[in-house]
């Protein structure tokens, strides 16, 4: 399956408006944002676990990054409540599931092969700081290396955001919303902009909390000039 696989183009999915699609594991359903491949895939997905559902034990050959949107996600390494941001690098393994049920954003096969950095941050308890370059924006850094910058951001109500976006931008709305290109973005709305396409948004009256990733698309497009990526 190929979905939003041209990384040189703007891509939008309002996931909350989509039906849930069953996965091969009972009780686990998905809303797909981008995907290249079948069950082993380079993928960005919103996944919902029914209470007492779980996946079989497996190794993340290409790494796994997830953010818990609702409920408590679990594996043999611990519990991850709402707001938990976790990076399980290539060659890590676990048996994921949820006793009470949960919803997560998960990204697979998007790590550098040599990355071995584990991350576990509770974004609900951590301290955000003012972004000196963007008035009305508070940020919580989650991960940064030569390939990408990941952070949570809180945008003040009624603000206007503009950035040149030289290296690509991807974001998911967690709370609140904004308007971009005459399109409204609400919780579970996902946007991916290619390098060089400016981002201009008007924040809604309740503000917005968003997960963001920057700088990662430039390297992908340099390695794959067409914008289309091969299967993992």
Alpha carbon separation from 2 to 28, 97, 230, 231 (Å, rounded): 21, 26, 10, 9
Instruction: Say if residue 229's pLDDT is above 60.
Output: no
Q: Which residue has the higher pLDDT, 182 or 224?
A: 182
pTM for the full model? 0.94
**How would you write the chain as a 3-class SS string?**
CEECCECCCCEEEEHHHCCCEECCCCCEEEEEEEEEECCCEEEEEEEEECCCEECCCEEECCCEEEEEEEEEEEECCEEEECCEEEEECCCEEECCEECCCEEEEEEECCCCCCCCCCEEEECCCCCCEECCCCCCEEEEEEEECCCCEEEEEEECCCCEEEECCCCCEEEEEEEEEEEECCEEECCCEEEEECCCCCEEEEEEEEEEEEEEEECHHHHHHHHCCCCECCCC
Domains, the chain, ordered by start: 2-6+16-122 (2.60.120.10), 129-218 (2.60.120.10)
pLDDT digits (tens, 9 = 90+) for 24-82: 999 999 999 999 988 788 999 999 999 999 888 888 889 999 999 999 999 988 999 99
Average pLDDT over residues 103-110: 96
Per-residue confidence band for 220, with pLDDT thresholds at 50, 70 and 90: confident
pLDDT digits (tens, 9 = 90+) for 118-153: 999 999 999 999 999 999 999 999 999 989 999 999
Average pLDDT over residues 18-23: 96
């Amino acid at each position: 399956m190929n979905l939003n696989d041209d990384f040189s183009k703007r891509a939008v999915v309002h996931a909350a408006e989509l039906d849930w699609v069953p996965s091969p594991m009972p009780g686990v359903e998905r809303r797909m944002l981008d995907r290249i491949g079948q069950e082993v895939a380079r993928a960005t997905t919103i996944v919902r676990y029914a209470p007492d559902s779980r996946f079989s034990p497996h190794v993340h050959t290409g790494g796994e990054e997830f953010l818990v949107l609702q409920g408590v996600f679990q594996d043999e390494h611990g519990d991850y409540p709402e707001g938990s941001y976790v990076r399980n690098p290539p060659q890590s393994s676990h048996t994921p599931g949820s006793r009470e049920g949960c919803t997560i954003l998960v990204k697979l096969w998007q790590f550098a092969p040599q990355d071995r950095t584990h991350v576990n941050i509770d974004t609900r308890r951590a301290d955000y700081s003012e972004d000196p370059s963007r008035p009305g924006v508070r940020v919580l850094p989650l991960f940064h290396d030569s390939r990408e910058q990941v952070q949570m951001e809180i945008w003040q109500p009624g603000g206007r955001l503009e950035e040149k976006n030289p290296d690509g931008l991807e974001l998911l709305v967690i709370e609140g919303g904004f308007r971009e290109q005459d399109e409204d973005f609400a919780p579970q709305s996902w946007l991916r902009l290619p390098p060089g396409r400016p981002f201009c948004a008007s924040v809604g009256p309740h503000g917005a909390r968003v997960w963001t990733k920057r700088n990662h698309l430039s390297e992908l497009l340099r390695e794959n000039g067409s914008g289309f990526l091969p299967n993992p």
